[in-house]
Structure 1
Amino acid sequence: MTPLPELLPATDAAPFVHDLATHGDRPALITADGTISYTELATRVEEAARRLGPQRRLVLVAGANTVEALVAYLAGLRGGHPVLLVPDSGPATRTLVEAYDPDVVIGPVDGTWTIEERRRGTAHELHPELALLLSTSGSTGSPKLVRLSAANLQANAEAIAGYLGIRDTDRAATSLPPHYCYGLSVVNSHLTRGAALILTGLSVADSCFWDLFRAARGTTFAGVPYTFDLLDRVGFAGMDLPHLRYVTQAGGRLAPATVRRYAELGRRHGWDLFVMYGQTEATARMAYLPPDLARTRPEAIGVPVPGGEFRLAPAPDQPDGVGELVYAGPNVMLGYAERPADLASGRTVDELHTGDLARRGPDGLWEIVGRRSRFAKILGVRVDPQSVEGLLARHRVEAACLGADDELVVAVAGDATPARVRRLVADEVGLPPRAVRVLPAPRLPRLASGKVDYPALRAHAEAPEPAPPAAAPTADHDLCRLYAEVLERTDVTPEHSFVDLGGDSLSYVEMSVRLERVLGQLPPDWHTLPIAALPVRPAARPRRRVLETSVALRAAAIVLIVGSHIPLFHLTGGAHLLLAVAGFNFARFQLTDVSRRDRLRQIRAALARIVLPTMVWIAAVMALTDQYRLSTLLLVNSLVGPADGRTEWHFWFIEGLVYVLLGTGALLALPAVDRWERRFPFALPVALAGLGLLGRYDVFGLDARHDLPGGVVAFWLFALGWAAARARGTRQRLLVTVAAAATVPGFFGEPAREALIVAGFALLVWLPTVPSVGTVNRLAGVLAGSSLYVYLTHWQVYPHLRDRPLLALVASLAAGVAYGLLVEQAWRWAARLRSRRTAAG
């Protein structure tokens, strides 16, 4: 085999990349799926570097906290190729691809990590020192990039590893995105010392993040100011994290009170808080505050990192001792790039003018007192927006400020009233109240780094104010109250989504119908969006209405079931189609991004919503008639019989669905299976569908001998519906469609019935919505939301109206809807009772 150096460009990579293999079998990457050693990581990196070839090329890598993204980043550096590290998707990446025309693009395509070689050689002249290109803080997606060398990366990684005292036994969670310089510095500094990375894309607001952190014996994680807001919300102060050694903070100024509070928390629990200061132009870090000073000097950024130094440059209109902070050190960038031709440039700067106004305290610690470039002159008054933000923060108001020509724009998140904010700002700054414009918002726009997205804020401030719609949401239509009412929850906040709050397929229909009345047309993924991200004003009514396919199928299936039982017509297959839709909704509502424990709680709640109303109805019928037996009430008729009963088969579908949910829940209760589902969300249900085909085709002859329950025989339909919800891209959708078309025919021996099920699968897979009209939407919503209750009750309704089949159908549907309303009232009553007991206890 040709030695690797002979296959690579002559440009040297940073030593921390060269030296990966020297750390041997020590853990390098810890993921939810297992551990990768440094030896294995080095092998993967070198294999990927060989694929990139010996000629230096501009390599764009979609940054993500995944093994594939990290290997691609390191392989580019190992091969001496300049790496353009970008967000893993979205318009920012497309903008940079168009602006810089990379030779190679590495990233996910339809869920598969791919290397796209756009040309064999290179279209660029690349300076020998150029190693990495990053977007400047706040300019993600802009053509302006920071040019960094391998020496920059190594120097900053060594400095950070030094002052943090990183050990080879440390395990750092990737709590920030790698295309953000702070997140990348965590990666580089820990690889420098042979420490491990707990590789995850989860947020600190996700309980699964902390499950993984504890399981991996995590010792550190990084946060920006917004991270600490999230930590407060999730109860970080009460968490048991026995291996935590230190927490780092950068990415913007953290309020001194918060610094002091977290430093004190760390002192009590045995970990340190490092407050740091940096910019992308300095390869991440320029200063840090020693942890023992965080409680006494929380307003300071501290001292320069090893190898760096500060000075003050004169700044106009500033008091003595205050000037622009200038940094010099081996981690200062080569310069900026604004066009492809700049990639050929060498060093154009020797020191970094930060744009921050600073002073040095008597104790030698540096402090930031303002931002030079953000000063604005409004009506003759010089205003520092950052100071205004600090003022409002002291009054517990989360805000971001912008200076315009004749006004100060203050965006405010939360429930602070505009009048109060305007008064606070006007009194402090000396502006007339008319020059302070307050923009209330559910939340401030933020970049992936957690910093406020000021360009987006400015665009919002400059957008023309739309005319207020006639039906704008008011207090009566408060979305949180609406969610709380439908889901019987008392803990709803704007940060929650429908799935966060335990919404399921039964409540989904009612929620979507009621939301549509308030907001207009809903986005397709509304159930996964935080409430605050939903439009706060009704969208313009579309000319053509649509209906979600799963809702349409549920409504149509229950009508077909009841109509065929009467019989008004003979179109069977609706129950088996409902089983597929149940699998589809199981993936959407029970398999969310919450912890395994919360997933199991959601499955238990879904089972309760099915089992309890069923048993109540059957018990009521048993009290009045001899139609059912105890085995029917206990939903075990398919297990214990009697097999020749005339009515016991009525509830085979509900029994089957309950067994499927119990079995699937038990499977997902296994930590390994839960990890597989998150790692292979499409492959797992496909594999389960394959196992389910053993029952469908009775491979072992068990059905013939023991009369297997319907849930076992038809499980493959549920699993295929699950796979349909997880299918991404044409190939996966085609696989589900072909699987249904190949396995459903022959199951019943009724071509029309089988064609109905296959057609329903095709709609579910390929069409998220179907054309509709408002009246049909409302009717379908009611029927779909009541489908379980219609199925339960219609057996006791239609036999009395057989001679009038159309009336029998309408009465059966109406009875089910009425029972559904009664059940929902009972759920709400129970929720209120639990709430009162909780408050009393």
Structure 2
Amino acid sequence: MNVFDYLFHTSKNIEKDFLLGSKETISFKKLYHNSLKIASYLKESVGKNQNIILISPNSAFFLTAYLGILKSGNICIPLNFTTEQRSLDYIINTTESVNAFISKPQKRKLQFNSNIHLIDEEESLSIIEQQDNIAINSNFDKNRIAEIIFTSGSTGEPKGVMISHQNIIANTDSIVQYLKLTSKDTMCVVLPFFYCYGLSLFHTHLKVGGSLVLNNNFIFLGTVINDLKTHKCTGLAGVPSHFQILLKKSQTFKIETFPNLRYLTQAGGKLHTVFIKELTEAFPDKEVYIMYGQTEATARLSYLPPEFIKTKTSSIGKAIPNVELKIINSKNEVSKIDEEGELLARGKNVMLGYFKDEESTNQVIKNGWLHTGDLAKIDKDGFIYIVGRKKEIIKIAGKRVSPKEIEEVILSIPNIIDCTITSFDDDLLGEAIQATVILNKSIHEDKMRKHILEICSKQLSLYKIPKKVIFKEAMETSVTGKKKIK
């Protein structure tokens, strides 16, 4: 089945708005028909199995183009709308793309070869007005590639994660099930759709007949709070920095009641225990889902049910429906309770592989299992805990150190908004630890540095105490909201 038909199976004739907001709205019915027009145009002018670039902030234009590309039997490549020219050139050359849907601001900023056909909002509307619908066969192999999502690669060049129609269908079904989503749900979206977490919000709410409120201005915290209240949002999804900023920078977020808000979801990295505690104390009547996933798994792999948020606070929970997780040790055996090993996943949501990179694909998918690259352990109740990233583990004089453990200690100190632990070359130890700290208030840095080291010396082994503590004024984040670590 084409994922387009799956998503619109029960919602294609709904008159209510799928997109809510002051800037633009669009009903399910209109989105369905507009997307079919784009699909028909692409089927006639492009054919099928062609790679088509999509560069746009969250908008009706993005959604219509994305759905139209999938329905036409072509492959969508959604890119970061702040992408650098070098990355864009690499992706275009690698994927041999000659067609691109692009919003006007990005069209002005980026350069394209003359052989690439660019479709902006204006041309898209023209196509919708003039194009006749044609018959498009939906009965094709569901394991065909639906999209290629590019992520940062270890070599510096981005890797293209190939996601099939089946991958999206499987992951959407699982997420809808454990979040108990219905047509009554409205999600406040601060995550970009070129990011798998953002796309999962789009897929799931379209599937159940829910609605989305697009907020592309998270930097203005008041707009997020206003959207949650005005549009009676039932859900808010974010990465750690979103919640850290809302908790520490907003004067009103924690004191608002948000009567319609049912749940909050967090993924895209570890939200430290101190912030989870602060979030649950501020909203004791809301369901808080801590989740874990990877682009290579379409989006989601595990979740911690809200009822365990206080007893299993730092856990990523258990596998989502229809996914298997296991931890293997250095001997390639299933790890025992509390024994550290690599987390592996298996399910219909696991990617087809990396685009034009068989070697990397074979390194992460072995015998049907996705090797996540994350180190984890499991407790006696079957709950999984991420210990660290294989490539992020720091070795101090031969001893393995997880940055997360040190960050937890420093973040427990009042007036610290954020902390990032990295390493630097050291003649004596090989690697030494550096803590980069962001303060909430104007506090004397020398005194805070001394206090941080005192707390660390009481709670950490000597070799885990930072050798350097530096301060920055603000958290550096990417457009997805994830921290930039330098």
Q: Which bracket does the TM-score occupy, shorter chain normalised?
A: 0.7 to 0.9
Instruction: Please point out which of 393, 398, 421 is paired with 1:401.
Output: 421
Instruction: Please point out which of 245, 267, 270 is paired with 2:262.
Output: 245
SS at match of 1:186: helix
Q: 1:143 to 1:349 in 2, by over 3 A?
A: farther
Q: 1:138 to 1:448 in 2, by over 3 A?
A: farther
Q: For residue 106 of structure 1, what is the amino acid of its counterpart?
A: F
1:323 corresponds to 2:316: no
The percent of aligned pairs where both chains have the same amino acid is 28
Render the CA deviation track for 1:532-579: whole Å, top value 9, x for unaligned.
xxxxxxxxxxxxxxxxxxxxxxxxxxxxxxxxxxxxxxxxxxxxxxxx
Asked whether the 8 Å contact 1:64–1:70 carries over to 2, the reply is no
Match of 2:132 in 1: none
Render the CA deviation track for 1:760-793: whole Å, top value 9, x for unaligned.
xxxxxxxxxxxxxxxxxxxxxxxxxxxxxxxxxx
Asked whether the 8 Å contact 1:377–1:405 carries over to 2, the reply is no
Matches within 5 A, 1:629-708: none
Match of 1:156 in 2: 171
The structure with the larger Rg is 1
Matches within 5 A, 1:225-624: 225-232=240-247, 233-234=249-250, 235-267=252-284, 270-315=285-330, 321-337=339-355, 350-396=368-414, 397=416, 398-406=418-426, 407-414=432-439, 416-417=445-446, 418-421=449-452, 428-431=460-463, 436-454=467-485, 457=486
Give the structure with the higher percent strand: 2
Asked whether the 8 Å contact 1:20–1:39 carries over to 2, the reply is no
Q: For residue 55 of structure 1, what is the amino acid of its counterpart?
A: K
Match of 2:128 in 1: none
1:213 corresponds to 2:208: no
Render the CA deviation track for 1:375-422: whole Å, top value 9, x for unaligned.
122333332222222222223542212234423233222355445545
Instruction: Please point out which of 18, 41, 47 is paired with 2:37.
Output: 47
* Offset, 1:112: 7.4
Matches within 5 A, 1:85-100: 85-91=78-84, 92-100=87-95
1:136 corresponds to 2:131: no
* Offset, 1:171: 0.9
Structure 1 gap segments, 5+ residues each: 1-10, 121-126, 458-841
Q: For residue 453 of structure 1, what is the amino acid of its counterpart?
A: K
* Offset, 1:324: 1.3
* Offset, 1:311: 0.9
Match of 1:817 in 2: none
Asked whether the 8 Å contact 2:100–2:116 carries over to 1, the reply is no
Render the CA deviation track for 1:459-482: whole Å, top value 9, x for unaligned.
xxxxxxxxxxxxxxxxxxxxxxxx
Distance 1:178 1:86 in 2: 9
| TM-score, length-scaled by structure 2 | 0.79
Instruction: Please point out which of 1, 16, 37 is paired with 2:6.
Output: 16
1:36 corresponds to 2:67: no
* Offset, 1:364: 2.3
Distance 1:349 1:423 in 2: 48
Q: 1:281 to 1:243 in 2, by over 3 A?
A: same
Structure 2 gap segments, 5+ residues each: 118-141, 427-431
Q: 1:446 to 1:251 in 2, by over 3 A?
A: same
Q: 1:79 to 1:139 in 2, by over 3 A?
A: farther
Q: 1:379 to 1:257 in 2, by over 3 A?
A: closer
Match of 1:526 in 2: none
Q: 1:21 to 1:141 in 2, by over 3 A?
A: farther
Match of 2:126 in 1: none
Q: 1:64 to 1:119 in 2, by over 3 A?
A: closer
Distance 1:212 1:440 in 2: 33
Q: 1:421 to 1:139 in 2, by over 3 A?
A: farther
Distance 2:40 2:318 in 1: 42
Match of 2:197 in 1: 182
Q: For residue 183 of structure 1, what is the amino acid of its counterpart?
A: G
SS at match of 2:209: coil
Match of 1:700 in 2: none
Distance 1:50 1:216 in 2: 34
Distance 1:263 1:137 in 2: 32
Asked whether the 8 Å contact 2:423–2:434 carries over to 1, the reply is yes
* Offset, 1:178: 1.1
Q: For residue 151 of structure 1, what is the amino acid of its counterpart?
A: Q
Distance 2:200 2:155 in 1: 17
Aligned length: 434
Distance 1:445 1:104 in 2: 33
SS at match of 2:463: coil
SS at match of 1:203: coil
Instruction: Please point out which of 53, 59, 69 is paired with 2:62.
Output: 69
Render the CA deviation track for 1:135-179: whole Å, top value 9, x for unaligned.
336889842121111111111111111100101121111111111
Distance 1:340 1:205 in 2: 43
CA RMSD in angstroms, aligned pairs only:
3.4
Instruction: Please point out which of 84, 93, 97 is paired with 1:102.
Output: 97
Render the CA deviation track for 1:301-346: whole Å, top value 9, x for unaligned.
1121000111111148x99522211111111111123669999xxx
Distance 1:293 1:205 in 2: 32
Distance 1:360 1:210 in 2: 37
SS at match of 1:453: coil
1:203 corresponds to 2:218: yes
Greater relative CO (CA pairs within 8 A, separation 6+): 2
Asked whether the 8 Å contact 1:135–1:142 carries over to 2, the reply is no
Distance 1:424 1:160 in 2: 40
Distance 2:352 2:373 in 1: 18
* Offset, 1:365: 1.8
Distance 2:356 2:243 in 1: 34
Q: For residue 102 of structure 1, what is the amino acid of its counterpart?
A: S
Once the two structures are overlaid, the 10-residue window that deviates more, 23-32 or 224-233, is: 23-32
Distance 2:299 2:407 in 1: 24
